[in-house]
Structure 1
């Protein structure tokens, strides 16, 4: 009797894992498309480890993909190693180590309704697009 249940259970677990994997990738693909649209016609510059902190008030969160700082004619894109915690419905709390926003700074994501931490994001280099 245990053997007859093993195959259906294994199949159900495999299907569930496949659905989770597909759902996890979908926001990233959507985010990549949104980012590509924002960067259309712009050229990437040299990566920068820090940008002026005043740009952080013009922040755009692209769910599951990147943080974008709009500085007018230049757009800075930071793609964290693990962007899954990026959600535009969350509040970002940036722990800066100085007067600039730098890749070693820690960004915590917090639920704006309940106030609990939903994730931590470690920034990558800021790529300027002009």
Structure 2
């Protein structure tokens, strides 16, 4: 099994704080969704969600809260991945470690979020489908 490390190209500094009460998870989710919508404002979806993408077609990644991971692709393309149960945020210089038996990242592959300097592990999650987007022409 291969381990591939992906360091974020851009660490988002905005953090989420969870408030006490039953509405807190829904508020965090809405906040993450609005941040994702802002990230995708200059992009358009270019096809159906893919179960796998080639790792050589990816150049970096960043998270949008715990709801989504944006993988930077080649040629003005990005892939949005929404782990079903969420995933720890990549903020603060954290990176992804992906365990995969191939050169492709696929739905169900396990990713760990960790600090590459200290080695502290912040948790892991299973990847979802990869939805392709392309930057709009200007």
TM value normalised by structure 1: 0.71
Answering whether residue 55 of structure 2 is matched by residue 53 of structure 1, we say yes
Aligned mates of 2:46, 2:20 — CA distance in 1 = 35
Aligned mates of 1:123, 1:20 — CA distance in 2 = 29
Between 1:30-39 and 1:92-101, the stretch displaced more is: 30-39
Answering whether residue 108 of structure 2 is matched by residue 104 of structure 1, we say yes
Which whole-Å deviations, capped at 9, do the CAs of 1:108-130 have from their partners, x for residues lacking one? 11245542322111000001123
Cα RMSD after superposing both structures: 2.3
Give unpaired runs (5+ residues) of structure 1.
Answer: 1-17
Answering whether residue 77 of structure 2 is matched by residue 81 of structure 1, we say no
Larger radius of gyration: 1
Give unpaired runs (5+ residues) of structure 2.
Answer: 1-18
Higher relative contact order, structure no. (Cα contacts within 8 Å, ≥ 6 residues apart)? 2
Aligned mates of 1:111, 1:124 — CA distance in 2 = 22
More helix by share: 1
Aligned mates of 1:86, 1:57 — CA distance in 2 = 18
Aligned mates of 1:84, 1:105 — CA distance in 2 = 13
TM value normalised by structure 2: 0.68
Aligned residues: 113
More strand by share: 2
Partner SS state of residue 82, structure 1: coil
